[in-house]
Structure 1
Amino acid sequence: MLSTQQVADILGVSRMTVTRVIDRGELPSTGVGTHRKVTAAAVARYREQRRLERSEALRALADDTDEAGPDHVVTTRRAVRTP
C-alpha cells in the first residue's frame, strides 16, 4: 500500500492532486482523512487510463488539424498592418 505522497511521486503530481483524484473516485483508496492508502495496482491502472485518454485527445487534435489542411490560415484578433 502506498501513501498519497508516494502516489504523487510516482505520477509526478502534487499530493493535493492525488487527494482530489481520490475524492472524485478516480483512484480507489482505503482509509479516510489524512491517512489514505492506495494499492500499486490501482496506481498502475490509473496511470494507464490517463495515458490512453491523453493519446485519444492527441489523436483527435491531429484529426482536426488534418481536416483543415496545410494551407488553412487561422485568423487572430491582432490586426495585420498593410504598408
Structure 2
Amino acid sequence: MSPAGDKQEIPAEVYYLLTHIVDALANERGVSVVPTNTRLTTQQAADHLGISRPTLVKLLEQGDISFSKVGRHRRVLLTDLIGYEKDLEERRREGLREATQEAAHDGTYFDTPTDSNSR
C-alpha cells in the first residue's frame, strides 16, 4: 500500500527481491542495485565473485568469462559474471549428482571417510 493508501499489485519476483533488500538493510548489510549491462573493472568483477584479481584474469584469458578491452584495460559485463556463476553452480550440482549416483551404485553412499579406509 502506498503512503496515500493506494494499492498496487507487483509481480512475485519483485516482491521477493524487495523482501531480500529490506532484510539486508534491516541487518545493516549494504545493497547495490545496478543495471545488468554494467561494465565492471577486473577488480570489481573479482570482488563480485569473491576471488583474487589474478584468478579472475586467468578465467578471462582462458575464455571462461567474456570481456572487452577499453584501451589496455579489461571490462566485464555484469550479465557475463552472472552467467558464469550460474554455469559454475550447475556444474557443481551436476558433479554432486554424479558423485551421489556413483556412491549409491557402489553401495558406499552412507559410508563415512573412516569407514571407507577400513575396507
Structure-2-length-normalised TM-score: 0.56
Q: Closer, same or farther in 2 for the Cα pair 1:67/1:23, shift >3 Å? A: same
Runs of 4+ in structure 1 deviating by more than 2 angstroms, as ranges, are: 70-76
| AA of the residue aligned to 2:76 | V
CA RMSD of aligned residues (A): 2.2
- Higher fraction of strand: 2
Identical amino acids, percent of aligned pairs: 30
Q: Which sits farther off after the overlay, 43-52 or 65-74?
A: 65-74
Cα deviation, residue 75, structure 1: 4.7
The aligned length equals 76
SS of the residue aligned with 1:62?
Answer: helix
Cα deviation, residue 12, structure 1: 1.1
| Structure 2: runs of 5 or more not aligned | 1-38
| Alignment match of 2:74 (pick from 36, 44, 61) | 36
Match of 2:88 in 1: 50
Largest Rg, 1 or 2? 2
Structure-1-length-normalised TM-score: 0.79
- Kindly indicate whether structure 1 or structure 2 has the higher relative contact order, using CA contacts under 8 Å at least 6 residues apart: 1
